[in-house]
Chain A
Amino acid sequence: MSPSLSQGIPLASQVINLCAAIMLLIGFAMLAQRRVLTLINLFMLQGFVLFVSTLIVALTTKQNHLLWSAGLTLLLKVIALPYILHRLIRRLSVKWDIETLLNIPTTMLIGIALVIISFNVAQPISQISGTITRATIGIALACVLLAFLMMITRSKAVPQVIAFLAMENGLFFAATSATYGMPMVVELGIALDVLVGMVILGVFFFQIREQFDSLDIRHMERIKEE
């Protein structure tokens, strides 16, 4: 990090820290959520927080390519993906309730443990970092792990996919806020991959439901080790 960038405005860094905290909070809210619709809305909110933090980083550090990635986040994560998901669940007439494999309080406790672990892991990194938002990398890692946990504990396809997207959000947050953005090509590529993946999954949902009469992953136990 060049010295000119590390002397950002403290207020901006505070707002980014706030965004980080909200990201984490939304991560937990998603973990605790029982309804698909709310889950999508939370995902949208997380995308929006990501957009705000990226925008602030872009404005404070005057890195123009981050403006593009902020715009991309807004388009993709706040508008396009939630729209696709909403349409999907309406077309699939998914049941509104999510079934979890573990009860929610236990999941939450594991979540807290994960946060502590990721904070510890990120501690040495935060200490050497020169960016104004050095602490956010721990939170980004925590968001990724929480999304991972959500993926493991959900038995339906749609929540799993939302968890997958939330994981992407955490990574994106690490890329933009903690390190001030990866090169533009990479971000474009990532965004494209996410979008394509989403479309493929959308097609998949219909196939899975056609074949299994349900989007419950637990039905998928036909392939077994002998």
Chain B
Amino acid sequence: MNFYAFFAQLVALAVALVMAPILNGWVNQCRAWLQNRSAPPLLQTYYTLSKLFHKDVLLAHNASSLFRSAPYIIFSCMALASAIVPSLSTNLIYSPAADAIALVGLFALARVFIALAGMDVGTSFGSLGSRREMLIGFLAEPALLMVFFTASLISRSTSLSTIVETLAHREFVIYPSLAFAGVAFSMVSLAENARVPIDNPTTHLELTMVHEAMILEYSGRHLALIEWAACLKLFAYSCIGLALFFPFGIPEAADPVSLAIAGAILMLKLAVGGFLLALVETISAKMRIFRAPEFLGTAFLLAVLAMLVHLLLEAGQ
């Protein structure tokens, strides 16, 4: 059993690393279709990454060691995060570590480093981006925590695998609180992953960019790692969302057969999720940065509501 758990953990990590850029490519492809453009290939992100890996790193002469180490830290945070999310099985070797609050902390750690790195060189764009990123993070994290708390209240545990187990293997009950939390989580994910209503991953317009502004000074393999980490972050968020709100098909066992089935189901869910993300990005317009607090405030509100609704409507049942 333990071996299976170890094996499943390895598979999960590998799937995350491989699938993340593909998911990114898929979203871009869907978006291109929806906008009536000719789509880039599905593996485009890989081409970009390999191109970047082959390029030389160009460092600003006043860049510190923090600037150089940040991409590795960010990448490993994201890789760890996407590995511990129970997307394929709830019986992973890291399952005990997969605590909802720890996960939020992991994302926060990555955020701190990317923001520090953004300011490290001392360009105005970098600090601007960092400032905006911290603003968004400051608002998004409480909402994310609230979402996790709601799910934790339902399953009486903050361990992700326990939550998913409870939610996936219960009899069918409508949880209005989960619906609210789901909406809140989607909104937070959009903000956290620098997606359209808050940020645009494809823009380099100085007035609007957030994520891109911070990584403007990066090049070569550093940039590749950061891009990959961004893909992993999207993948991790998608998996968390799927695990919390559509947990059906995530097995408890970790044997190869159920892993394979779970993998197939995950692909399907990710494909649908990616398409929906592209749809959202297509039909909504980017907000001014000053509207972001309102957007995230709404997310927070929804998450709080989810918790209240749970306490009132569902606690006694």
Contacts and interface: CB of A to CB of B under 8 A. Distances in A.
A39 interface: no
Contact of B308 (A104, A119, A136): A119
Given A15-B174, A112-B304, A139 B312 contact: yes
12 contacts: A15-B174, A21-B179, A21-B180, A21-B309, A24-B305, A25-B180, A28-B302, A28-B305, A112-B305, A112-B308, A119-B308, A135-B312
Contacts of A11: 174
Contacts of A104: 294
A105 B291 CA distance: 11
Nearest to A123: B312
Given A17-B313, A119-B311, A105 B293 contact: yes
A119 B315 CA distance: 13
Contacts of B313: 17, 20-21, 135-136, 139
Contact of A108 (B176, B177, B298, B309): B298
Interface of B: 173-174, 176-177, 179-180, 293-294, 297-298, 301-302, 304-305, 308-309, 311-314, 316
Contacts of A28: 301-302, 305
Nearest to A32: B298
Given A28-B301, A105-B294, A108-B301, A21 B316 contact: no
B176 A112 contact: no
A14 interface: yes
A203 interface: no
Chain B interface helix/strand/loop/mixed: helix
A46 to B, nearest CB: 15
A22 interface: yes
Contacts of A18: 174, 176, 179
Nearest to B314: A17
A111 B313 CA distance: 18
Nearest to A120: B312
Interface residues of A, number: 26
Contacts of B180: 21, 25
Chain A interface helix/strand/loop/mixed: helix
A24 B298 contact: no
Interface centre among B176, B180, B298, B312 (most CB of A within 10 A): B312
Nearest to A15: B174
A17 B174 CA distance: 8
A17 B316 CA distance: 13
Given A28-B305, A105-B297, A14 B312 contact: no
B301 A20 contact: no
Interface in A2-29: 11, 14-15, 17-18, 20-22, 24-25, 28
A139 B305 CA distance: 11
B283 to A, nearest CB: 15
Contact of A119 (B293, B294, B301, B312): B312
A14 B309 CA distance: 13
Interface string A24-43: 11001000100000000000
Interface in A175-194: none
Interface centre among A15, A111, A119 (most CB of B within 10 A): A119
Contacts of A199: none
Interface in A68-108: 104-105, 108
Nearest to B183: A25
A24 B297 CA distance: 17
Contact of A14 (B174, B294, B298, B302): B174
A14 B301 contact: no
A159 interface: no
